[in-house]
Structure 1
Amino acid sequence: MSTPHRTSAVWNHAPELPLAPMPYWQWPPRPWAVLRWIFENFLQVSDRALFLVYSFVIAFWLMPFVPAEATFGWDWAALVLLRNMVAVVLVVGGLHIWFYGIDGQGNVLRFDTRPITGRKNALFLFGYQTWDNMFHTLVFGVPIASGFEIAMRWAFANGGTMPVEFSQSPVWFVLLFPVLTLFQGVHFYLVHRLIHWPPLYRYVHSVHHRNVNVGPWSGLSMHPVEHVFYFSSLLIFFVLPAHPVHIMFLLHWQLLGAPTGHSGYEAVFARNKARILIGGFFHQLHHRYYECNYGSPEFPLDKWFGTYHDGTDEMTVNVRARKRRMHAK
């Protein structure tokens, strides 16, 4: 396999720099660019396309929302937890084994080649980064995410949400998928700025930032308070008309998307081709430089509020200067 060329002196691999804004926000508007981007990310082999397919499988076949969920039962609630636990172990564990276990693609498309495992470090629970990450993901992350799903299933069955069917509103039904990724970007930015407030950072968010260089298990390695903030995005369905498949998509966009976005690689690369696009460089910059890129590439709040890092060395200088000013106060 051939190694793609380096695009930055700081990184082993980076996308073309400076990072380009999402086509949603380019001016003058470029509708064909928007449609092409949506096609490439939702209808080709990417993590979000796979989450979309999995959400349809759950909502229409594997575990649809049913009237019986109007009454809480440990039987169906346990199945929700089990399903999510299996999905996380398979997806996150599989990515970890591919990237860092069997070293399936070496440093091809890897952002930062520094090791994520190895010598013991007292900073991490059990002394190792991966063990620490797995503990916080499986003991807190998956149960809390499942708790939100259980609550939404119960609310849906009791008429507490506003259901919509494709036959009633086909345009809204389709557009809601990209709209949810935009909403999640806004929600994530606001929550993320909140937990960077020094008291919350010290006692809550610092758990996640033990991971300076990230791997798949880093994505959901958080303090349980942060998990509650993070998955609270699902509460939007109390006011937003949606089908259960939309609820499942937003859940998986976060439950499985955080691990793929923290994989440390741009894509799964095999047989001389990028097979599954997973991205994550935007957020990789946040883990390296901390006080930047609090949101997601979907919504330009970082640009609007002066916390954007486009990956260039010049922007690194600006971000570090901002960080010094913040700490000097």
Structure 2
Amino acid sequence: MTTANTDPEEHPKTEPAPMSREWHWHPELPVKFAPYWAWPPKFGVLGKWAWQNWLQFSDRSIFLLLAFLIAFLMQPVGPDQTSFSFAWLAHVFVRNWLLLLIVAGGLHLWFYGVDGQGKLLKYDPRPYLKRKNALFKFGYQTWDNVYYSMVFGATFLSVLESFLRWMYANEFIQTLSFSAHPIWFIALFPLLALWQSMHFYLVHLLLHQPFIYKHVHAVHHRNVNTGPWSGMSMHPVEAFGYLSALLIMLILPSHPVHMLFLGYWLMLGAASSHSGYEAIWAKDRQALLLGAFFHQLHHRYYECNYGNAEMPWDKWFGTYHDGSEDATKRTRNRKREMHAKGKVHASK
């Protein structure tokens, strides 16, 4: 699950922003939502945000480019996909496994393997957990996360993509062309990001119900100090629920490129947004924005920020943590009240 960068200014090179002693670095507070929701509208801010997030080099623009390359060049939907065959199905599965391996594995190698930038722009002051811990499958956080991400995350995305390709190929769902509907074709990309935000918030609330949390969502929340492989490290029930946002294509006129963009937004965006860093810093500049401090707060404090910064669901429903110490106190008080009523899982 990726989140929107809400601060269009480039972050300082070395100095951590002043804030709570619980963090090594964080963006300017309070944590903001995407500027769609500012009132009165701030068109200059919105334009700058859209330029940085959609048109400049960012994880979001990479997913968009990747979707176009696959949908129009590498594996367009065609007559061969009207029936299931090993050749095109294998292409889908292998491609998605490789993409997750490259993105999550590459980010992990940069941040935690070769230690490419030390703690520069790192949220959590604690080192990434490398020692053996019985909490994790195989005893190690990374191995546990790789297992769940590859076996269930990339696999379930491939199952859903294959099913939707078959639906497009057989014209069971309408294929939208740019030539016929250029405005809707373009507008659908940001609309899908908003849909994903709503879907994620609702699914996430359900996952935090005590019984479901204990037996399903706890797998993901083993990662308090997250890394790139944490993003898709989910129990199979959660992985399917999270990725089921793709099924909106069954009722929404779209093109396979929209389906692919949303799929990579979900899977590869989860790797970038859980990296534990605001951005990749290389050659004395911010090379690639990844930031998801909004969701990092959720992994630290649990009962807050169930959605993402694309839409202010948490603000609307009273579960918003803006990064301040006052918000931390409110969240902990809320957790104590929920625990007293038997409505919260045992967590930090």
What TM-score, normalized to structure 2? Answer: 0.93
Q: Is 1:31 matched with 2:43? A: yes
Q: Which of 165, 180, 192 lines up with 1:153 in the alignment?
A: 165
Secondary structure of the 2:288 match is strand
Q: Is the 8 A contact 2:54 2:60 kept in 1?
A: yes
Aligned equivalents of 1:22, 1:308: Cα separation in 2 = 14
Q: Is the 8 A contact 2:133 2:139 kept in 1?
A: yes
1:1-329 to 2 correspondences below 5 Å: 2-8=13-19, 9-329=21-341
CA deviations on 1:251-293 (whole Å, 9 max, x unpaired) are: 0001100010000000010011110001110000000000000
- Higher mean displacement: 216-225 or 60-69: 60-69
Which residue identity lines up with residue 155 of structure 2 in the other structure?
P
Aligned equivalents of 2:158, 2:103: Cα separation in 1 = 16
Q: Is the 8 A contact 2:33 2:311 kept in 1?
A: no
Percent identity of paired positions between Structure 1 and Structure 2: 53
Secondary structure of the 2:305 match is coil
Aligned equivalents of 1:96, 1:285: Cα separation in 2 = 20
CA deviations on 1:200-225 (whole Å, 9 max, x unpaired) are: 10000000000011000000000001
Aligned equivalents of 2:226, 2:168: Cα separation in 1 = 36
Secondary structure of the 2:68 match is helix
Q: CA RMSD of the aligned region, Å?
A: 1.1
Tell me how many residue pairs correspond in the alignment.
329
- Higher mean displacement: 262-271 or 153-162: 153-162
Aligned equivalents of 2:125, 2:110: Cα separation in 1 = 15
Secondary structure of the 1:148 match is helix
How far 1:68 moved relative to its partner? 1.5
Q: Is the 8 A contact 1:142 1:255 kept in 2?
A: yes
The verdict on how the C-alpha distance between 1:58 and 1:130 changes in structure 2, with shifts beyond 3 A counting, is same
How far 1:2 moved relative to its partner? 4.8
How far 1:4 moved relative to its partner? 2.7
Which residue identity lines up with residue 245 of structure 1 in the other structure?
V
- Larger relative contact order, structure 1 or 2 (CA cutoff 8 Å, min sep 6): 2
Q: Is the 8 A contact 2:145 2:232 kept in 1?
A: yes
Q: Is the 8 A contact 1:7 1:17 kept in 2?
A: no
CA deviations on 1:3-36 (whole Å, 9 max, x unpaired) are: 1333322211100001123210011122332222
Q: Is the 8 A contact 1:7 1:15 kept in 2?
A: no
What TM-score, normalized to structure 1? Answer: 0.98
Secondary structure of the 2:280 match is strand
Secondary structure of the 1:212 match is coil
How far 1:243 moved relative to its partner? 1.1
How far 1:38 moved relative to its partner? 1.3
Q: Is the 8 A contact 2:16 2:121 kept in 1?
A: no
Aligned equivalents of 1:161, 1:4: Cα separation in 2 = 51
Q: Is the 8 A contact 2:16 2:26 kept in 1?
A: no
Aligned equivalents of 2:17, 2:227: Cα separation in 1 = 20
Aligned equivalents of 1:7, 1:249: Cα separation in 2 = 36
Gaps of 5+ in 1: none
